[in-house]
Amino acid sequence: MTTLFCPALILAAPASGQGKTTITAALASMLRRQGKVVRVFKVGPDYLDPQILSQASAQPVEQLDLWMAGEAYCQNKMYEAAKVADIILVEGAMGIFDGQPSSADLAARFGIPIAIVMDVKGMAQTAAAIAMGLANYRDDFKTAGLIANNCGSERHAQLIKEALPDSLPLLGTLKRTPEISLPERHLGLVQAQEIREELETRLSAGADWVETSDLSKLLNKLEPVAFHQPDPKLLAVVPSVLTGKVIAVAKDDAFSFIYDANLRLLEELGASYQFFSPLHDEVIPKADALWLPGGYPELHVEALANNTSMLTSIRAFFANDKPVLAECGGFLYCLESLSNLEDQQYKMLGLMQGHGKMRTRGGCQGMQAAVLPEGDVRAHSHHRSVSIETPEPIAHGRRQRHPAPGEAIYRVGSLTASYLHLFFPSNPEAVGQLFLSATLDANLITNQNNK
C-alpha cells in the first residue's frame, strides 16, 4: 500500500477545560495566515469544537475515534489528509488517557507525537511534575513537550521550564487572554455559526500570539509522520441504495449537530440532501426522507413553537409514511412539548407521545451502539434533558463498556427517534435502509441481517 509523509501533532491535556481547542484553533489560524494547508481532526464524538476548528483552518474537520469510526476509517481519513496538507493537527478529547480508546491510543497507533496542553494557573514546578507523569505513564507514544496555558508571567514560565527535563521542553506559554478565549454554554463551546465575526477576531488574536511564541518554531521542526493507505478490504462497503433519493436535513441555530462524514455518506449511498431551517422556513423541501439532527432546540423553543407553518409541513410529511430520523434535539422536537431552561413549556411536533424537559445540571453522555432493526450503528449520547411519558422503546443503546441499558430507541410509524447521535459511516448499509424505509417490518430486517 502507498505511504505518504506529513508533519503531524496531537494536542492533548490532563483534563477537559485546559484550552486545547483555543490553542489548536490559534495554531491552525496562524498556519492558514501563512498560506499553508492545515488539516485538523478532533478525537471523539464532538460537534462544537470542529465548527471552531473548521473556521480556523478554512478546511473540513473530521472526527477520529477508533471505536466509533473504526481503525481503518481513521487511517484512511489521515492518509487522505496527508495528500493535500502541509501539516496535520489533531485535538484530543477530555484527558489524554481518558476513554477506551483514548487520545493516547490514537497517538500510539499512528505514531503521532503529543503536545501536552495544561492550564498552569496556581502551580509552577508541580505543572512540570504532572507533565512528566503524563509523558512517562506509557512508553508507546512520543511527547513533543508542554504548552503552558494561563501562565501568569515570564517568571512563572521560567519556573516551569527549569523544572522540566530536556526531553520534555516547554513549547510555549499563553497568558490569560480574554481576547482569545472561546465562549461556552451548557453543552460546550458556543456554535461557530452564532459568533462567526467575533470568532474570526479571536482566531486572529490567537494567530498573533502563536507567531510571537516558540510554538511557531515547533511546527517548523516537526518530523514527517508516515501515513499508510489502508487495505480497501478493511473499509466498509457503501451500497448505492439511496440513488435518486433526496434527504431533507434540518440545519440552523437550533439543529446543527451534523457530522460532515454523515452528509458525505448520504452522497456515497446515492442520495442528495437539502438543508432547511425549522426556525425560519415555512415548509420542508421536497424530499424522500427527513433527518432532524441534534442541537439546541431548548434555546429556540418559542420560535420553533411559533413557526406553525413548519410544524404543519413536517406533520404532513410524517403522515405520508416517509422515513424520519430524529436525534437528541431532533427527538425533543418530535415530542408533544419541550420545556426550556426556565421551565416554560411549548408545544412541539407531537409526532410521538412524550414531553421533554431541560435539567439545570448533570446529564447523560457516553459511547453506545444504536441497536436498530436495520443493524447496529455506532453512536454517542450527550444531553442535559429528560423525556417523560414516552411510548415503549423498540430497543436500547448498547453501552461501550457497561452492561446497563443505554438510551431508549423509539420507532413510531416511519419515525426513528432517540437521544443517540449516529455516526453513519460505522454501518452504511443499515443507514441506507433506515432512510429508504423505516417502516419495514423489524422482524423481517432482523432475519435478513442474520442470513
Adjacent-strand bridge partners of 276 = 250
Question: According to the model, what pLDDT value does residue 225 have?
Answer: 97
Residue 333 lies in a domain: yes
Name the band, by pLDDT with cuts 50, 70 and 90, for residue 181.
Answer: low
Q: Which residue has the higher pLDDT, 193 or 354?
A: 354
What does pTM read for this prediction?
0.88
Print the domain residue range for 75.
3-228
Tell me the CATH number at 188: 3.40.50.300
Rounded to whole angstroms, what are the CA distances from 156 to 11, 151, 175?
Answer: 22, 6, 10
Question: According to the model, what pLDDT value does residue 206 have?
Answer: 79
Q: Is 328 a catalytic residue?
A: yes
Q: Quick one: cell of 339? A: 420545556
Domain edge (last residue) among 165, 199, 228:
228
Domain edge (last residue) among 180, 203, 228:
228
Whether the pLDDT of residue 365 is over 50: the answer is yes
Domain edge (last residue) among 194, 228, 262:
228
Chain segment 307-318, per-residue pLDDT in tens:
999 999 999 999
Whether the pLDDT of residue 158 is over 90: the answer is yes
Question: According to the model, what pLDDT value does residue 215 have?
Answer: 76
Residue 233 lies in a domain: no
Question: According to the model, what pLDDT value does residue 111 have?
Answer: 97
Tell me the CATH number at 416: 3.40.50.880
Q: Quick one: cell of 14? A: 490532563
Whether the pLDDT of residue 178 is over 80: the answer is no
**What DSSP letter does each residue of 138-185 carry, written as one string?**
-SSS-EEEEEEES---HHHHHHHHHHS-TTS-EEEEE---TTTPPPEE
On whether both 122 and 145 belong to a single domain, the answer is yes
- The span from the CA of 246 to the CA of 223, in Å, is 45
Q: Quick one: cell of 350? A: 407531537
Residue 165 lies in a domain: yes
Residue 56 lies in a domain: yes
On whether both 183 and 165 belong to a single domain, the answer is yes
Chain segment 130-145, per-residue pLDDT in tens:
999 999 999 999 999 9
Question: According to the model, what pLDDT value does residue 177 have?
Answer: 66
Q: Quick one: cell of 50? A: 470542529
> Which helix (H) or strand (E) segment is 243 a member of?
none
Q: Which of 44-48, 215-219, 225-229, 240-244 has the lowest mean pLDDT?
A: 215-219
On whether both 52 and 130 belong to a single domain, the answer is yes
Adjacent-strand bridge partners of 387 = 356
On whether both 222 and 279 belong to a single domain, the answer is no
Q: Which of 186-190, 194-198, 289-293 has the lowest mean pLDDT?
A: 186-190
Locate the DSSP E strands across 296-439: 324-327, 337-339, 345-347, 355-358, 364-372, 375-383, 385-388, 395-399, 405-412, 415-418, 421-422
**What DSSP letter does each residue of 405-424 carry, written as one string?**
EEEEEEEETTEEEESPEE-G
Q: Which residue has the higher pLDDT, 449 or 107?
A: 107
On whether both 262 and 205 belong to a single domain, the answer is no
Q: Which of 14-28, 78-92, 312-326 has the lowest mean pLDDT?
A: 14-28
Dihedral, CA atoms, 73, 78, 79, 80, nearest 10 degrees?
90
Name the band, by pLDDT with cuts 50, 70 and 90, for residue 180.
Answer: low
Q: Which of 294-308, 337-351, 355-369 has the lowest mean pLDDT?
A: 355-369
On whether both 325 and 428 belong to a single domain, the answer is yes
Tell me which of 151, 328, 334, 364 is the catalytic residue.
328
Residue 355 lies in a domain: yes
Q: Looking at the 3D structure of the chain, how many domains does it have?
A: 2
